[in-house]
Structure 1
């Protein structure tokens, strides 16, 4: 009886794992192609990977862009044939129960050394699209004080402005 039960349960388990692996492969391919499009300054492929209502959060505290604003910012870089080059070193992918939304985090090899990317993808007409992306620089814990000293004079005014906007 245990063997019969195993035969019924095991194929379902394998199918579930294979489906999840296939979805992860699709997400990896989407993100890798997106990063490659930037490295090759392929404007259409890069921005075509984003949903129309996508948001891109950059490393600077002021960089919270809609897709249109990010396109305007990035277009001159792409037109010069040199955008940016990010290669994933590590990536973790997670899915909603209905498998129509995925979120991820990744460590990237960049010109800024290791950065962290994280974001959300949604399934649009059977194609994964990036809806939200956050890029951040990593800071070794032992160097936090040095970085804070550099940031303080720049970001103090921004902190005051942001607090005043909340009032």
Structure 2
């Protein structure tokens, strides 16, 4: 292979990889948007069909670290009332591993708690992209951190003490 052919092959490979990543970003975006919409629509089955069976949801409270079955149990009453939660993506960054079977992301969300940050990991399965891990956090402006810390200090102290005893 001569030098020009090699350069052209690398260029083609690079363009193909970029196109594949862009296509996969669209698919991942669709999954995440549909997941959030399923919660807004209180569609329990559609919501949990977007997660892996061993999926994890980390909520905004210190002890909210749910395996899928626990998260289903916690969430079911909200979905059954016809109103779960409503998260609308405002900004999202998506990244992939080299083999394009894992994706991770971060997103800024408009929610009933105002601005929140979501981040997570998706796995490509035989049934498409599924959310394996999701972390939700409330976005706190730096200038308000002291006030938030003051509000949560007592409860955090109790939790810290309990965890240190275990």
For the superposition of Structure 1 and Structure 2, which TM-score range results when normalised by the shorter chain?
over 0.9
Taking the aligned partners of 2:163 and 2:96, their CA distance within structure 1 comes to 34
Q: TM-score, normalised by structure 1?
A: 0.93
Q: What CA deviation, in whole Å up to 9, does each residue of 1:34-77 have, x standing for no partner? A: 00000000000001111111111000111011111111111011
* Partner-residue secondary structure (3-state), 1:41: coil
Which residue in the other structure is 1:158 paired with?
Answer: 159
Q: TM-score, normalised by structure 2?
A: 0.94
TM superposition shift of 1:150 = 0.2
* Map 1:10-159 → 2, pairs under 5 A: 10-159=11-160
* Partner-residue secondary structure (3-state), 2:60: coil
Taking the aligned partners of 1:9 and 1:134, their CA distance within structure 2 comes to 37
Taking the aligned partners of 2:4 and 2:110, their CA distance within structure 1 comes to 48
Change (3 A) 1:142 1:87: same
The answer for unaligned runs of 5 or more in structure 2 is: none
> Across the two proteins, how many residue pairs are aligned to each other?
165
TM superposition shift of 1:13 = 2.2
Greater than 2 Å deviation, 4+ residue runs: 1-13
TM superposition shift of 1:17 = 1.0
TM superposition shift of 1:9 = 3.6
* Partner-residue secondary structure (3-state), 1:107: strand
Taking the aligned partners of 2:165 and 2:21, their CA distance within structure 1 comes to 46
The answer for unaligned runs of 5 or more in structure 1 is: none
RMSD of the TM alignment (CA)? 1.5
Change (3 A) 1:32 1:67: same
Taking the aligned partners of 2:37 and 2:152, their CA distance within structure 1 comes to 31
TM superposition shift of 1:156 = 0.8
